[in-house]
């Protein structure tokens, strides 16, 4: 069996993961607007999983794309093109629309069910989900 070699940065991230996860939980418990905490949360998540960058997409109550935060400038550059293709119907023809992706069955339910469950947990813990 071949040995797997991890970079020292990856090893440090794994060792720091419990602390970073606690930091994310703390940020979520502050009751701040999501637009305030998402950049910090994504920074911690990026470090935990060893990603180069992270993105976050907010959805409306109808599961329409409402807003985007990205640590990668290219995401902002491509968003207008995506929106143009979406309005023309080309996105739907190729890969479906954002609301379709958001309602794909997950873990025996769908995003709407998951959102309801998350909201109930969030409200039980006094966290502002918006």
Lowest mean pLDDT among 23-27, 79-83, 115-119: 115-119
The range of the structural domain enclosing residue 65 comes to 8-124
Instruction: Evaluate if residue 125 carries a pLDDT over 60.
Output: no
Sign of the alpha-carbon dihedral angle for 60, 63, 66, 72: positive
| Closest to 48 in 3D by CA, of 77, 23, 84 | 23
Q: What is the CA radius of gyration of the chain?
A: 18
- Residue 1, C-beta contacts closer than 8 angstroms, at least 6 positions apart: none
pLDDT, residue 109, reads 58
In the numeric block, the tokens 């069996």 are attached to 1
Instruction: Evaluate if residue 98 carries a pLDDT over 70.
Output: yes
> Do the domain assignments include residue 129?
no
pLDDT, residue 1, reads 41
Total count of domains within the chain: 1
> Do the domain assignments include residue 3?
no
Please tell me what DSSP assigns to residue 2: P
Tell me the per-residue pLDDT of 15-47, one tens digit each, with 9 for 90 and over. 678 888 889 889 989 999 999 999 999 999 888
> Do the domain assignments include residue 67?
yes
Count of C-beta atoms within a 10 Å radius of residue 20: 17
Instruction: Evaluate if residue 6 carries a pLDDT over 50.
Output: no
Rounded mean pLDDT, 100-118: 60
Helices 34-49 & 8-29 angle (0-180, nearest 10): 160
Highest mean pLDDT among 10-14, 16-20, 35-39, 87-91: 35-39
For residue 95, what are its two tokens? 């890969």
């Amino acid at each position: 069996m071949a040995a797997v070699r991890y970079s020292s940065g990856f090893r440090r991230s794994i060792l720091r993961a419990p602390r970073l996860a606690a930091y994310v939980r703390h940020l979520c418990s502050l009751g701040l607007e999501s637009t305030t905490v998402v950049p910090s949360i994504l920074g911690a998540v990026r470090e935990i999983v060893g990603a180069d960058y992270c993105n976050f997409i907010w959805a409306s109550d109808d599961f329409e794309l409402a807003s985007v935060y990205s640590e990668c400038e290219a995401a902002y550059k491509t968003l207008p093109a995506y929106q143009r293709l979406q309005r023309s119907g080309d996105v739907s023809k190729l890969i479906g629309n954002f609301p379709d992706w958001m309602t794909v069955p997950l873990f025996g339910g769908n995003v709407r069910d998951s959102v309801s469950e998350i909201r109930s947990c969030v409200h039980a813990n006094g966290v502002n989900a918006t």
